[in-house]
Amino acid sequence: MSGRNLFTRPARLAAIAPYGWMVLFFLVPFGFVLKLSLSQVANAQPPYLPVFDLSAGWRALVAAASVLSLDNFRLLLSDDLYLAAGLRSLTVAATATALLLLLGYPVAYAMSRLPRRFQPLAMMLVIVPFWTSFLIRVYAWINILQHDGLLNQVLLALHVVSAPVVWLSTDTAMYIGMVYSYLPFMILPLYATLSKLDPSLCEAAADLGSSPLQSFWRVTLPLSLPGIGAGALLCFIPLVGEFVIPDLLAGSDAPMIGQTLWLEFFTNRDWPVAAATAVMLLAILLLPLVIYDRFQRRQMVRP
């Protein structure tokens, strides 16, 4: 009781504000999308039915709601196209996240070992690419990877290859683009955890007979797991729904779920199916979040 009274009114407001934000900018739009996913296509404005007409009163609303159906979700589950797209998205995102981790961890580790006064500079260097538009940077990669692009020129000049290699419209190009674009999202949370790591822990491990490799394996790595989790989630989740990078850099034979969604929305003008795809995507992405949350809780209280 006395604990509650400690919160003055502004403090209580501050505690509620994030929830208000969530309701306004996440739950309400999500409600629209969910309703849309249960509707049917129509050749009119808007391109779906039923439309809730609030002015017609409660009865009309109930009648409209009774027309809603799970047909779109049935279609998604029955058509291989969507399942294949979903599966490909998950594997691509997982592969890209693994690559990001392999590349990001050493960078973050090195950054955290720099003398303190150089660390802000290193952080700036990681963030600097954000000053240019994401789209422009992906186009730059097209430039680099194209037939007579920079990469092929360099490879030819060094006699690594005898003829230009096809990079564009391959998975390799897509992974390059993904790793390049998402690297800061992997490095920053890793750096945040690693720089907080007490160096005397590694000394203690060495003192107790661990070689540097064992110290890393037994102490540094387990203690950086929260950073690994955060970085992986921060990359994996948007990567699953990624549209621009696969669309511009990968081939067109196996689209990712984001591309399918775009296609349904803009080309087929089938908003309800597009909305159903979006809802499915969200449901799939909740899974890693739940796992991460469990893991975090276990880290905090262990009997």
Partner 1 sequence: MEAVSDITSQAGTALPLLRIDGVGKRFGGFTAVDGVSLDIRPGEFFALLGPSGCGKTTLLRMLAGFETPDSGRILLNGEDVAGTPPHLRPVNMMFQNYALFPHLSVRDNIAFGLRRAGMRRAEINARVAELVALVRLEGLEKRRPEQLSGGQRQRVALARAVARRPRLLLLDEPLAALDKKLRDSTQRELKALQRTLGLTFIVVTHDQDEAMTLADRIGVMNAGQLVQVATPRQLYETPRSRWVAEFVGDINIIEGRITTREAGRLRLTTGGAGELAATLPPEFGDAAEVCVAVRPEKIRLSLRPPVDDPAGGAINRLEGTVRDVGYLGSASSYTVALDGGASLRVSLANAARLYADAYAVGQRVTAWFSPDDCIVLDR
* Strand (E) or helix (H) holding 40: strand 40-41
* Strand (E) or helix (H) holding 106: helix 80-113
State the minimum distance, in angstroms, from the CB of residue 195 to partner 1. Answer: 16
Report the residue number, 7 or 295, with the smaller CB distance to partner 1.
295
Report the residue number, 9 or 302, with the smaller CB distance to partner 1.
302
State the minimum distance, in angstroms, from the CB of residue 212 to partner 1. Answer: 8
Which range touches partner 1 (CB under 8 A), out of 68-76, 113-121, 213-221, 240-248?
Answer: 213-221
Report the residue number, 207 or 293, with the smaller CB distance to partner 1.
207
Burial state string for 10-48 with b = 16 or more CB within 10 A and e = fewer than 16: eeeeeeeeeeeeeeeeeeeeeeeebbbbbbbbeeeeebb
Coil, helix or strand at residue 41: strand
53 binds partner 1 (CB under 8 A): no
State the minimum distance, in angstroms, from the CB of residue 172 to partner 1. Answer: 37
Site string for partner 1, 129-158 (x = CB under 8 A): ------------------------------
CB-based contact 152:258 (threshold 8 Å): no
206 binds partner 1 (CB under 8 A): yes
State the minimum distance, in angstroms, from the CB of residue 205 to partner 1. Answer: 7
Q: Of the candidates 200, 252, 267, 287, which one interacts with partner 1 according to CB under 8 A?
A: 200
- The type of residue at 260 is T
State the minimum distance, in angstroms, from the CB of residue 122 to partner 1. Answer: 23
State the minimum distance, in angstroms, from the CB of residue 208 to partner 1. Answer: 3
Which range touches partner 1 (CB under 8 A), out of 120-128, 138-146, 200-208, 234-242?
Answer: 200-208
Task: Tell me the angle at which helices 119-127 and 80-113 cross, rounded to the nearest 10 degrees.
Answer: 160
d(CA 80, CA 88): 12
H helix runs in 114-170, sequence order? 119-127, 134-145, 150-157
Q: Of the candidates 223, 244, 248, 282, which one interacts with partner 1 according to CB under 8 A?
A: 223
209 binds partner 1 (CB under 8 A): yes
194 binds partner 1 (CB under 8 A): no
Residue 62 carries which DSSP code?
A: H
Residue with token string 């809730």: 52
Q: Of the candidates 98, 198, 291, 293, which one interacts with partner 1 according to CB under 8 A?
A: 198
251 binds partner 1 (CB under 8 A): no
H helix runs in 158-300, sequence order? 171-196, 199-207, 212-215, 221-223, 225-240, 244-249, 257-262, 271-300
- The two tokens of residue 203 are 């000394």
Q: Of the candidates 173, 219, 239, 249, which one interacts with partner 1 according to CB under 8 A?
A: 219
Report the residue number, 153 or 211, with the smaller CB distance to partner 1.
211
State the minimum distance, in angstroms, from the CB of residue 90 to partner 1. Answer: 30
- Distance (Å) of CA 221 to CA 81, 159, 173: 40, 39, 30
Give the residues across from 40 on adjacent strands: 49
Q: Of the candidates 161, 208, 289, 291, which one interacts with partner 1 according to CB under 8 A?
A: 208
Footprint of partner 1 on this chain (CB under 8 A)?
A: 198, 200-201, 203-212, 214-215, 218-219, 222-223, 302-303
